[in-house]
């Protein structure tokens, strides 16, 4: 179902527990919600726990929950997106990817080639980005290519290579699931599941990612509005997976000097209405090697929680996205710049 402008999905409810509510009281609310056939989403906050309710038809049920022990108030949630919204969870979500925090004080840098091409290639790039200061390793084993004749990725073999690169460098791995079958393999080998721009509205894939225990990096669709982007994240949270990282990667416009137009304005827009962390991918966002560093610096300046950058040791011979891949040397210089920019924004690298 695609939401059209102004359409809503029926009012959700948010049950706010008192500060220091007991585990029993929280369980009591969850049981009462489930007994009515709705879904309960306990969301621990810095001060108190809130419980989001989805699957209900409106605010009619509010009084039922108001009288339960430990409940302070029941608030109708006005937006179409509920669980991703700051109304439901005022404080920022910090996602843990194999021990690396995304959305906290430290800017998270995800780097690596567009595609896993060979063990040798992956190890060269992984070692280089680790040395330069990356926190997470990227690399596609399943590639969503515009042409069926382009390199499609190494599949499971690529996942084994990524696991070997993690073993050697200690960098947790983020890699894309193009379909349900790939997702199940990725859950076994990787630390986070990437849902690509072309799959942002693949609702069965989103639902399956929502059932996973692994964090999800959700990339914005090529022509997705902010509302559509957040509703796709909502699909994942609604299934019980709250570990979602958004990623702005550029949208299609009339621009003729870049592959996509990196919509940096979406970063503060997301921050205003959602608690989820957001990365910026200036590689797909510009499609041009020389524009990756300036747009990375700008992304940090507008408040992105981190960056996803394509790096290749020999970009002109890369099997995928060479023109937008930067060299390890360029990456190292960029990390040096970001280290200087971060403190100005009250962050670190």
Binding site for Mn ion (CB under 5 A): 114, 321
Evaluate whether 191 touches 97 at the Cβ level (below 8 Å). yes
Q: Which residue is nearest to Mn ion (CB)?
A: 114
Q: Which residues pair with 52 in a beta bridge?
A: 14, 41
Stretch that binds ligand PEP, among 39-47, 193-201, 229-237, 293-301 (CB under 6 A): 193-201
CB nearer to ligand PEP: give 61 or 281. Answer: 281
CB nearer to ligand PEP: give 88 or 171. Answer: 171
CB nearer to Mn ion: give 87 or 321. Answer: 321
Answer yes or no whether residue 21 interacts with ligand PEP by CB under 6 A: no
Answer yes or no whether residue 237 interacts with ligand PEP by CB under 6 A: no
Compute the least distance from the CB of residue 143 to ligand PEP, in Å.
Answer: 7
Residues of this chain, 58-117, that bind ligand PEP according to CB under 6 A: 114
Residue 197 binding: pick among Mn ion, ligand PEP, none (C-beta 5-8 Å cut-off by kind): ligand PEP
Answer yes or no whether residue 284 interacts with ligand PEP by CB under 6 A: yes
Compute the least distance from the CB of residue 234 to ligand PEP, in Å.
Answer: 19
Among 41, 208, 219, 347, binds ligand PEP (CB under 6 A): 219
Residue 285 binding: pick among Mn ion, ligand PEP, none (C-beta 5-8 Å cut-off by kind): none
Q: Which residue is nearest to ligand PEP (CB)?
A: 196
Compute the least distance from the CB of residue 212 to Mn ion, in Å.
Answer: 22
CB nearer to Mn ion: give 21 or 114. Answer: 114
Listing from the earlier edge strand, what are the strands of the sheet with 71-77? 39-44, 49-54, 12-17, 71-77
CB nearer to Mn ion: give 39 or 145. Answer: 145
Distance, CA of 277 to CA of 130 (rounded, Å)? 22
Among 28, 42, 45, 144, binds ligand PEP (CB under 6 A): 144
Size of the site for ligand PEP (CB under 6 A): 9
CB nearer to Mn ion: give 13 or 159. Answer: 159
Compute the least distance from the CB of residue 220 to Mn ion, in Å.
Answer: 14
Evaluate whether 142 touches 190 at the Cβ level (below 8 Å). no
Answer yes or no whether residue 249 interacts with ligand PEP by CB under 6 A: yes
Compute the least distance from the CB of residue 115 to Mn ion, in Å.
Answer: 7
Answer yes or no whether residue 183 interacts with ligand PEP by CB under 6 A: no
CB nearer to Mn ion: give 114 or 270. Answer: 114
CB nearer to Mn ion: give 15 or 247. Answer: 247
Evaluate whether 195 touches 201 at the Cβ level (below 8 Å). no
Compute the least distance from the CB of residue 105 to Mn ion, in Å.
Answer: 29
Please write down the HEC assignment for all residues of the chain. Answer: CCCCCCCCCCCEEEEEECCCCCHHHHHHHHHHHHHCCCEEEEEECCCCEEEEEECCCCHHHHHHHHCCCCEEEEEEECCCCCCCECCCCCCCCCEEECCEEECCCECEEEEECCECCCHHHHHHHHHHHHHHCCCEEECECCCCCCCCCCCCCCCHHHHHHHHHHHHHHCCCEEEECCCHHHHHHHHHHCCEEEECHHHCCCHHHHHHHHCCCCCEEEECCCCCCHHHHHHHHHHHHHCCCCCEEEEECCECCCCCCCCCECCCCHHHHHHHHECCCEEECHHHHHCCHHHHHHHHHHHHHCCCCEEEEEECCCHHHCCCCHHHCECHHHHHHHHHHHHHHHHHCCCEC
CB nearer to Mn ion: give 114 or 238. Answer: 114
List residues near ligand PEP by CB under 6 A.
114, 140, 144, 196-198, 219, 249, 284
């Amino acid at each position: 179902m695609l939401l059209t402008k102004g359409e809503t999905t029926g009012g959700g409810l948010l049950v706010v527990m008192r500060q220091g509510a007991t585990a029993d009281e929280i369980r009591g609310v969850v049981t009462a919600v489930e007994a009515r056939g709705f879904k309960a989403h306990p969301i621990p906050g810095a001060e108190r726990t809130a419980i989001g309710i989805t699957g209900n038809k409106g605010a009619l049920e509010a009084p039922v929950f108001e009288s339960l022990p430990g409940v302070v108030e029941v608030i109708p949630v006005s937006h179409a997106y509920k669980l991703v919204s700051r109304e439901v969870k005022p404080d920022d979500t910090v996602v843990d990817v194999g021990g690396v925090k995304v959305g906290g004080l430290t800017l998270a840098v995800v780097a690596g080639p567009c595609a896993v091409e060979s063990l040798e290639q992956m190890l060269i790039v992984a070692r280089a980005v680790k040395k330069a200061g990356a926190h997470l390793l990227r690399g596609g084993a399943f590639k969503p290519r515009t042409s069926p004749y382009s390199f499609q990725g190494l599949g499971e073999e690529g996942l084994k290579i990524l696991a070997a690169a993690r073993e050697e460098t200690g960098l947790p791995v983020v890699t894309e699931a193009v379909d349900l079958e790939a997702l199940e393999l990725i859950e076994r080998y990787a630390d986070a599941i990437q849902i690509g721009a072309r799959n942002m509205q693949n609702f069965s894939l989103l639902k399956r990612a929502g059932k996973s225990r692994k964090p999800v990096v959700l990339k914005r669709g090529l022509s997705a509005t902010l509302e559509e982007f957040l509703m796709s994240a909502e699909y994942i949270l609604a299934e019980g997976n709250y570990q979602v990282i958004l990623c702005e990667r550029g949208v299609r416009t009339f621009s003729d000097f870049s592959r996509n137009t990196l919509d940096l304005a979406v970063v503060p827009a997301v921050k205003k209405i959602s608690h989820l962390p957001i990365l910026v991918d200036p590689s797909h966002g510009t499609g041009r090697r020389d524009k990756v560093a300036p747009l990375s610096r700008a992304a940090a300046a507008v408040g992105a929680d981190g960056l996803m950058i394509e790096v290749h040791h020999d970009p002109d011979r890369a099997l995928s996205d060479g023109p937008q891949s930067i060299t390890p040397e360029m990456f190292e210089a960029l990390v040096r710049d970001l280290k200087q920019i971060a403190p100005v924004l009250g962050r670190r690298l």
